[in-house]
Amino acid sequence: MSDPRRAHAPLCADTHTPCTEAGHTLAHDPDHAHQHGDSCAHSHGHDHAPAHGHDHGSCCSAGLTLTAEQADAQRSAAMRREFGRLGLALSLAFIAEGLDLWWEDVPLWQGVSMVLAAAAIGLAGLGVLRQGWASLRRADLNIDALMTVAVTGGFLIGEWPEASMVMALYALAELLEARSVDRARHAIKGLLDLTPPVAQRRSASGAWEEVPVSEVRPGDTIRVRPGERFPLDGTVRSGQSAVDQSPVTGESLPVEKGPGDVVYAGTINRHGGLDIEVTAPASDTVLARIIHAVEAAQSKRAPTQRFIDRFARVYTPAVFVMALAMALGGPLLVGLSWQDSIYRALVLLVIACPCALVISTPVTIVSALAAAARRGILIKGGVYLEQARHLGMVALDKTGTVTEGRPRLVAREYPQREPANGEVDAVAAALAQRSDHPVSQAIAAGLPASTLQVGDFNAQAGQGVKGQVDGRDYWLGSHRQIHALGRCGPELEELLGRHEMEGRTVSMLADADAVLAVYAVADDVRATSGQAVAELRQMGVETVMLTGDNEKTARSVAERSGIRAWHAALLPQEKLDTLRGLAQEGRATAMVGDGINDAPALAAADIGFAMGGMGTHTAMEAADVVIMNDDLRRIPETIRLSRRTHAVLWQNIAFALGIKAVFLTLAVFDQATMWMAVFADMGASLLVVLNGLRMLRSSAKAASRN
């Protein structure tokens, strides 16, 4: 019945922000005008304020300072008023129907019946009537106009009890649908309730004080006791504990945290006190960004939704034409009475109302997006959710995607001579400390910290870094880069080959004359990578690994993770070219990566997946889907969700059209009444909503599998 983008009073308090929602703007005026995008098949700009006294503007402004409990209380009270108003309207409609049946020949009771029916219509649908007539004046044949003509026509031809019942049931079904869609659209907002409203902050004097989280700034230190939730994002400065990160990442097992580890707002500190240095304000925590991303995704219309909207823009005016043809053609062509013919036409209007069809898609898409977010999968729009089912090839970056992304320095050798006083390692550490590449970071972590100053520093994507130390040029780079510099001889190649056969990534420190040191770094394959690759293969999706690392290391990692094809020693542009070549094979292709060098390929793929926990901001911005817990099993899970969403979408569409076809046939042959019409419309709409809401259970089912 209602457009899922429509706002109701309860939503105002829920947002704690000015009442803007994905896909619509709620004007804070007494007319409660809802403005939808042009693509909406119908609009509901109902004026509820005169009918039930809601002051939405004040609700929303108050929501800026309401606590969660106060907001919940306001929503509950508003909903009780809504149901009370509609309950009264239904009661009056039933009484009017009874009077019409029992005393149809008594003018007095007929008059009372008409008054009660008019009151029921006013209570239930005054806003619908106002918007409907406004739409008719604009020649905008939407659902409000359709219901306005049906109810007004029924009242004028003397069928006021049925007209009042149609309006009351329509309004009731609309309210129930709005609550259901609100549940789906705001399911992810429940995560906001996970963050405490206050934090224990250390003051300048060293004392601990309780302050609202809005007053805590990055750089402040807060304390989180065992059993408490983290109020903000931060880095552990002291203490050890296990943290339940499932609200943010979907991980089922607690993660051990100690000094230097990152923690997220909304997660739970299990058994040890932690002092945390805050890294982001309350408005910019990972949890807040998740909610923002899901809301933005919900505002993007999926392909099926756009198709349904286009269809409904043609379908609704066509229904008006059919009803007009029946009203005029009945008396003129087949000898029906004008009243009988008009009644059949009005029944046709109510039956043909496209509410169920229009609402069938958005409620399913919104529910699926919320279910994915609960599992740590941020899908940036319904279009990517629908496209995922078509994937036939998934290209995987190696470091940080297939592997843990936490390489360790496991060996170092000096081809020239053993350096004195660690001077070579000091230069290597100074260069590595300036780089954000995981291999460089592993070298920096494995060597003593260096205080040497680096000048003219330059990072060359996919190759290594260059800089000046004490006026001399040094390179800390990959096998490929050092080979291009002409520094690799036979003995060195043999040395490198031994490390690479063991699956190690090798970096070398070279100056203008020779290679000074060889650093071997190992990165373990993720425990879940093999399972993810196997699941994808079972689903008919092939995998290929694209890496800038050498051939031998790539082969070792691919064999350990079950990947059958790989491309090694790729620069960022070569990764992009390889991905485009894969796409030309005719299969929809996804790219999964975590680094800056993956961003071009992520943007070019049919769907780009970024690893959110380890990934760079550049990669996450370029991607269409973000995997918050770096678990590759979320890739096949996303494809399964996409396939299930597609099935539910077409179940809803088929059911909505099927039930319309049955009752339209009954109406044409005079076997349907307005009662049947409104129950058919109401029932179909509620059933497709409930079917779409089943997608919210996807997260629980997926959790049980993993």
Task: Kindly report the backbone phi and psi dihedral angles of residue 272, in degrees, each rounded to the nearest multiple of 5, phi listed first.
Answer: -140, 145
Q: Which helix (H) or strand (E) holds 331?
A: helix 303-333
Structure tokens at 584: 């030309």
**DSSP 8-state class, residue 549:** S
- Among residues 47, 397, 594, 624, the one annotated as catalytic is 397
Nearest in space to 509 (alpha carbons), one of 533, 485, 490, 543: 485
Nearest-angstrom CA–CA distance, 660 and 665? 8
Q: Rounded to the nearest 10 degrees, what angle do helices 303-333 and 143-156 cross at?
A: 30
Could you tell me how far CA 502 lies from the centroid of its own chain?
41
Nearest in space to 194 (alpha carbons), one of 257, 269, 262: 269
Among positive and negative, which fits the CA dihedral 272, 277, 282, 286? negative
- Listed in sequence order, the residues at least 6 apart from 338 whose beta carbon sits closer than 8 Å to its beta carbon are 330, 331
Nearest-angstrom CA–CA distance, 228 and 266? 9
Residue ranges in 568-670 assigned as alpha helix (H): 572-583, 599-604, 617-622, 634-668
Nearest in space to 143 (alpha carbons), one of 2, 10, 285: 2
Q: Name the β-bridge partners of 378.
A: 626
Among positive and negative, which fits the CA dihedral 603, 604, 608, 611? negative
Is 670 marked active-site? no
Other C-beta atoms lying within 10 Å of the C-beta of residue 423? 12
Cα-based distances in Å from 142 to 40, 162, 172 = 10, 22, 19
Vertex 362, ends 358 and 365: CA angle to 5°? 145
Residues marked as catalytic:
397
